[in-house]
Amino acid sequence: MDRVIIFDTTLRDGEQAAGGTLNVQEKLEIARQLEKLGVDVIEAGFPASSPGDFESVSLIAKEIRNSSVCALTHANFKAIDRAWDAIKEAARPRIHIFLSASDIHLVHQLKKTREEVMKMACDSVARARGYTSDIEFSPMDASRTEPKYLYQILEAVIEAGASTVNIPDTVGYAVPAEFGALIRGIFQNVRNISKAVVSVHCHNDLGLAVANTLEAIRCGARQAECTINGIGERAGNASLEEIVMTLQTRRDLFDLCTGIDTKQIYRTSRLVSDLTGFPVQPNKAIVGANAFSHESGIHQDGVIKMPITYEIIDPRTVGVPSSSLVLGKLSGRHAFKQRLSELGYSLGEEDLNKAFAAFKELADKKKNITDRDIESLVAEERRTVSEEYHLDRLQVTCGDQGLPMAGVRLFRPGTNEYIEGASLGTGPVDAVYKAINLCVEQPNTLTEFTVKSVTEGIDALGEVLIRIESGGVTYTGRGADTDIIVSSAKAYINALNRLLSARKIGEIK
Ligand code: KIV
Ligand code: ZN
């Protein structure tokens, strides 16, 4: 069967989403999961944009063996050389060059003529061809580029050696019939188009990214650029899970396949949400909490009699765990380990011990431990890896009389020292954050603070998500505990740790 290449750009365009900064270890963890998911190409980052991006792309290129690892670059020699430097050890390296093509961009941003841009494009592709034969070229803002000029530039870059030509709807302006016609026009008018794979890259400003991608595929495109959970610049990119599951569910219409192991979809979605701090909306197709829950009596009746009545996808196909087994205080290590593995986690001995200890601690406070609790516990353990500061102790007094007061003790694993701080505040969280500030001394502004309960019930785990801003960059932090003041402290320390690790490697996103 004809195959669609799945090009995942979660680590590049996805990370461009406001507040979505990931550190090097987190990017590596996502890349490993994307490889497990079976994506063909991982766009790992933009090496010339920052030392942090260079480092993470290099690490991913060294480790990932089953997916191509792609580096994005401007159309200039220095950036291309830097991109190659980052991916040269990949099993299958790809260089992705982008350059604006629309008159809107040429006149108002690049201040260059069409001829100058055409030359830059060809020279850049030729330069990259000196390193590898896997070259992708993107004429940025293609959907607003005059088609005749687009055909010319595509023909020229293919001649210069591009093996994939990507058609970006950079500002999410196209509608499906129009975008499909553009792709058909490319097949009809670009003389050497059979020498390259036609790819599409759609943004979601009008909520049409997936629809445009699918229409382009119907018209002959064979690479889809997408992100997990549809995250990305502004309103995001086309969502991988929606494209893949549409192709699979409507194989009768498309007659196409992908190399994706769909059972890894849910797990990948959770990981990306957890590490980026972007929650998945409950009604999100395929991976939202309500995507497979039936509320109306008629629907429930139908699904009990025969799932196909109201369910077009078996939730197990995308790896949604069946939550029939609930663990509790008396559950042993073996049951816990088995549940973890059913949820797609394979922890090493040390991590398993830590997660099991956290599970036991939670089971003392909460009667039934659900899959969501376990996911939250594992995420909490993951967050404490390579910390600059760790919350060791926290004491708060508050009430409706007098000012809340907090005392904290933080541990620094790097230097083995403890630091203490105490403060009053307008509320308990304010007092805790001020006490932490006395210890960490990193000026920042709190821009977002959200608390949500992981499951129902008064004993539920409370998850706190915060964003802080420092030096024009936003850092996300998360924390979970049955006590929301403790979750708040953990989330703040998590955000500060990210800020400090970005400063350490000179990262400026
Ligand atoms: O949206 C866009 O045009 C891009 C390019 C770099 C492909 O992200
Ligand atoms: Zn984009």
pLDDT tens per residue across span 79-134: 999 999 999 999 999 999 999 999 999 999 999 999 999 999 999 999 999 999 99
Q: How far is the CA of 93 from the centre of ligand 1 (A)?
A: 19
323 has pLDDT over 60: no
Centre of ligand 1 to C-alpha 224, Å, is 13
Atom of ligand 1 nearest to the CA of 141: 3
Residue 140 CA to ligand 2 center (angstroms) comes to 9
The b/e string for 108-139 (b: 16+ C-beta within 10 A; e otherwise) is eebebeeeebbebbbebbebbbebbebbbbbb
**Is the pLDDT score of 78 beyond 70?**
yes
Beta bridge partners of 198: 165
What per-residue confidence (pLDDT) applies to 508?
42
Task: Using the predicted structure, report yes or no on whether residue 343 has a pLDDT greater than 90.
Answer: no
Q: Which H/E stretch holds residue 214?
A: helix 209-218
Q: Where are the beta strands (DSSP E) in 414-456?
A: 417-424, 445-453
The Cα 330–Cα 493 span in angstroms is 32
Radius of gyration of the chain (CA): 24
**Alpha-carbon torsion 112, 116, 119, 120, what sign?**
negative
**Which amino acid residue places its CA nearest to atom 4 of ligand 1?**
170
Instruction: Read off the pLDDT of each residue in 295-312 and give the average, rounded to a whole number.
Output: 84
Q: Whose CA is nearest to atom 2 of ligand 1?
A: 170
d(CA 475, CA 495): 6
The number of the ligand nearest the C-alpha atom of 165 reads 1
pLDDT score, position 324:
54
pLDDT at residue 289 tops 50: yes
> Which helix or strand (DSSP H or E) is residue 226 part of?
strand 223-226
Q: Which residue's CA is minimally distant from atom 1 of ligand 1?
A: 170
Task: Tell me which DSSP letter residue 169 carries.
Answer: E
Helices (H) and strands (E) in the chain, counts: 17, 16
- Please identify, by atom number, the ligand 1 atom nearest to the C-alpha of residue 140: 3
The Cα angle at residue 428 between residues 465 and 458, in degrees rounded to 5: 65
CA gap 411, 442 in Å, rounded: 16
- The closest-lying atom of ligand 1 relative to the alpha carbon of residue 225 is 7
What percent of the chain clears pLDDT 70, i.e. is strictly above it? Answer: 98
Find the 244 Cα to ligand 2 centroid distance in Å.
19
pLDDT beyond 80 at 294: no
Give residues with Cβ within 8 angstroms of 350, minimum separation 6: none
Residue among 370, 393, 367, 390 at smallest CA distance from 380: 390
Q: What is the pLDDT of residues 433-461, one digit of tens each?
A: 999 999 999 999 999 999 988 877 888 88
Separation of CA 225 and ligand 1 centre (Å): 10
Probe target for ligand 1 pocket from 43, 53, 140, 141, with the most ligand atoms within 8 Å of CB = 140
Cα-to-centroid distance, 97 and ligand 1 (Å): 10
Around 133, how many Cα atoms within 13 Å sit in the side-chain half-sphere? 2
As a whole number, mean pLDDT of residues 355-380 equals 87
Pairing of strands 462-470, 473-481: antiparallel
pLDDT at 135 over 80: yes
Contact 375, 270 (CB under 8 A): yes
Q: Are 38 and 259 in contact (CB under 8 A)?
A: yes
> What distance in angstroms lies between residue 234's CA and the mean position of ligand 2's atoms?
10
Where is 165: in which H helix or E strand?
Answer: strand 164-169
Ligand 1 mutation pick, 203, 204, 227, max ligand atoms within 8 A of CB:
203
CA 171 – ligand 2 centroid, Å: 8
- Nearest Cα neighbor of 485 from 397, 381, 412 is 397
Residues with CB under 5 A from ligand 2 (ion): 13
Q: Which residues line ligand 1 (CB under 6 A)?
A: 13, 98, 138, 140, 166, 168, 170, 201, 203
Q: What is the pLDDT of residue 509?
A: 41
Residue 464's pLDDT band (boundaries 50, 70, 90)?
very high
- Whether residue 409 has pLDDT greater than 50: yes
Amino acid at 351: D
Expressed in angstroms and rounded, the spacing between residue 273 Cα and the centre of ligand 1 is 22
Which pLDDT tens digit goes with each residue over 40-58? 999 999 999 999 899 999 9
| Atom number, ligand 1, closest to the C-alpha of residue 13 | 8
Measured distance CA(376)–CA(392) in Å, rounded: 19
How far apart are alpha carbons 249 and 226 in whole angstroms? 18
Q: Does 321 have pLDDT greater than 80?
A: no
pLDDT of the residue at 305: 86
pLDDT at 382 over 80: no
Protein residue closest via CA to atom 8 of ligand 1: 13
Residue 174 predicted with pLDDT over 50: yes
Neighbouring residues of 18: CB distance < 8 A, sequence distance ≥ 6: 474
Q: In the beta sheet, which residues pair with residue 100?
A: 140
- Type of residue at 391: L
Task: List the single range of 74-78, 394-398, 450-454 with lowest mean pLDDT.
Answer: 450-454
224: Cβ contacts below 8 Å, ≥ 6 apart: 4, 5, 6, 7, 199, 200, 213, 216, 217, 238, 243
Closest CA to 160 of 130, 122, 192: 122
Q: 71 C-alpha to center of ligand 2: Å?
A: 14
The residues with which 466 forms a beta bridge, in sequence order, are 449, 477
| pLDDT top residue among 396 and 310 | 396
What is the position in ligand 1's atom list of the atom closest to the CA of 16?
8
Ligand number with the minimum distance to the CA of 140: 1
Q: Check pLDDT > 70 for residue 191.
A: yes
Least trusted range by pLDDT, from 272-276, 382-386, 489-493 = 382-386
Which ligand 1 atom is at minimum distance from the Cα of 138? 7
pLDDT at 199 exceeding the cut of 80 = yes
Chain-centre distance for alpha carbon 437: 29
The span from the CA of 22 to the CA of 57, in Å, is: 12
Q: Over range 274-298, report the average pLDDT.
A: 88
